[in-house]
């Protein structure tokens, strides 16, 4: 069973992974996470966009990190603190 799950994870396309990551971010209650751009190249994820705190930047990364098949995350989110 474990081998089958690992095979299914390897068979996911970068587009599938990007879609899953985007859906997880869009389902969050934090509005700023919903507008994050997700690009997947191979098994590497790039997060781009703006969030309002370093906490939100970390939360976005942790949400995506939970997806099976992700090998690395490049978190390029910009923190824009509104005064």
Per-residue pLDDT tens digits for 19-58: 999 999 999 988 889 899 999 999 999 999 999 999 999 9
Q: What is the mean pLDDT of the chain?
A: 87
Q: How confident is the model at residue 10 (pLDDT cuts 50, 70, 90)?
A: low
51 is a domain residue: yes
Domain that holds residue 25: 15-79
3 is a domain residue: no
55 is a domain residue: yes
Report the CATH number that the domain containing residue 50 is assigned in CATH: 3.30.1340.30
Specify the number of domains making up the chain.
1
7 is a domain residue: no
pLDDT above 70 covers what percent of the chain? 87
Whether the predicted model's global pTM rises above the 0.85 cut = no
4 is a domain residue: no
5 is a domain residue: no
Q: Judging by DSSP bridges, how do beta strands 72-75 and 44-48 pair with one another?
A: parallel
In 1-83, alpha helices (H): 2-11, 14-26, 31-34, 54-65
């Amino acid at each position: 069973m474990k081998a089958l799950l690992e095979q299914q994870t390897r068979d996911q396309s970068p587009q599938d992974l990007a879609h899953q990551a985007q859906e997880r971010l869009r389902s969050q209650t934090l509005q700023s996470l919903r507008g994050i751009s997700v690009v997947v190249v191979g098994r590497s994820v790039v997060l781009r966009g703006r969030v309002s705190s370093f906490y939100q930047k970390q939360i976005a990364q942790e949400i995506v990190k939970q997806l099976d098949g992700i090998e690395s995350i490049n978190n390029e989110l910009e923190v824009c603190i509104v005064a």
